[in-house]
Structure 1
């Protein structure tokens, strides 16, 4: 090989080595236990939209578990770029850890909640125990099944929905509400750490008379397991599904742009229709009107009837709070 040919070959190697790799974005979305199927449906649609908009490919990796357990894992090093939780207090834990901005609720519309659900019931075919509302769950002949409210955001909503129901039914009498949730918890035969495990306990192990989980999950359970049916209680609790940028990680990973775009995209009609198809109630008014017939009417209480999240955390979930007082297991 001549000297000129050798120089040309060497130059070509240098050029190839210096050429940028094809653009590829990648983020990790750390989410709640029962969100697997939802994000399996959402992520490919976002990836297509991102490619069309930016010309770049994107991979959205997922991690699922009990919401509170997931928050702890992020504090311990799980490298989340975004969180899509089912409990606001679990994001506040990340604020306390310095990973999420304190004003995260104002970073996205609707208090940073693009969709919502509510605790609802799944019963055995024919509803042999005649379970219709929260008051039925404290009967001696009824075994409710739901996850551990110490580790699952889903289960915390079940606990809070039951407490709010009892508080309203008893004219604001907290002592009676405490007794109500104490009896409810004592009726639960087994507490799993996450909602998905509780669904399996009920549907596959045939334990319990009624499963309490998010309404969005009930449709999938009934579709997957023959011999079960859904019951929507007359009153339940509005369950916001908050999202946040894990800013410290995203800045370190160089993913702020795509991570922020991902969360904003959840509010678009395109994403909202996917959410509704997965049985989540949506915040876009036009899409909500399109799918209104899909969702039963229900009286939705809010956490404000319990004083708001700051009061709830201090009163119910801090060490020595009401949950500790009534939780004997």
Structure 2
């Protein structure tokens, strides 16, 4: 004899309730990391290791997810509602913008070592096999027959570092003569064949679309590209003078609290400073701070004079206002 319909429905509801309340079926926590465009492969390596470490230490399964894009665009997305728990960016001003919006602690740079920058890089050149145009330094990039590819400084921290590195070189070359610096930069920008929105788009233009004689990007990125697409087909040039590119990280406090991930977010960023993670970062061609790892990889990173944005431009805020805001120096130099 079949059970009454009402009774069957009651039993089904109880079964569903028991299933949903079962500890074995409890939903795992998810941490969202908002990061810059070309960090996809890096965090694809780091995240599973962190997940395993957390489970071993805390007997809890968690999942780390990623959101990638130009770091400035990623910061704007958070201000517009993206519920990222942490940020791992490539420019200080993008984290500071979140701090100014009360989404990151005001003293975020004091929360972790090295100004909350667990690793760093500089700007370097990727050229085609045998370096046919003989590109070795920034002044080679203003020759008439040179075509460059790098991300748009308006949308990409990567691109801003390239612009600022070129300006810093010209500043040294012309002993601060503003007119000569601007002439250099006007020619430099005029030789850009493609301004992509982010680093990954610039890589696609140079490698897959075969546009340009040189791709300018982070040293880490151009080395990774060369490894991926063929060390015999490309060469990496680290110019004698370049710029210090810090990679700042921070907890997005209100989001982490709302997601009940504050402990997870803090541990995730601290994990980036561990010796084994620093070794992984060095393996991805990032420069790191851990002394043992620095010694171990010393031969992998050529010596270069790393200019600091603060020393050349006063501060990041001054650099952004003077060069990258609407009507600023970048816009003026690109006018024909």
Bin of the TM-score, shorter chain as denominator length: over 0.9
2:68 aligned with 1:61: no
- Could you tell me whether the CA contact under 8 Å between 1:23 and 1:56 is conserved in 2? no
2:330 aligned with 1:326: no
- The TM-score, its normalising length taken from structure 2, stands at 0.91
Q: 2:316 pairs with 305, 309, 322, which one?
A: 309
Q: State the alpha-carbon separation in 2 of the partners of residues 235 and 269 from structure 1.
A: 29
- The TM-score, its normalising length taken from structure 1, stands at 0.93
Q: 1:159 pairs with 157, 160, 163, which one?
A: 163
The 5 A counterparts of 1:54-93 are 54-93=58-97
2:222 aligned with 1:218: yes
Aligned residues: CA RMSD: 2.2
Q: State the alpha-carbon separation in 2 of the partners of residues 218 and 42 from structure 1.
A: 20
Superposition deviation, residue 93 in structure 1:
1.5
- Could you tell me whether the CA contact under 8 Å between 1:186 and 1:328 is conserved in 2? no
Q: State the alpha-carbon separation in 2 of the partners of residues 237 and 289 from structure 1.
A: 22
Q: 2:49 pairs with 41, 45, 60, which one?
A: 45
Higher alpha-carbon deviation: 174-183 or 37-46: 174-183
- Could you tell me whether the CA contact under 8 Å between 1:138 and 1:183 is conserved in 2? yes
Aligned-partner SS, 1:149: coil
Superposition deviation, residue 34 in structure 1:
0.4
Superposition deviation, residue 76 in structure 1:
1.3
Distance 1:126 1:250, change over 3 A: same
Question: Structure 1 stretches of 5 or more lacking a match?
Answer: 1-8
Distance 1:50 1:326, change over 3 A: same
Question: Structure 2 stretches of 5 or more lacking a match?
Answer: 1-11
Q: State the alpha-carbon separation in 1 of the partners of residues 282 and 143 from structure 2.
A: 34
Corresponding position of 2:176: 172
Q: State the alpha-carbon separation in 1 of the partners of residues 26 and 103 from structure 2.
A: 30
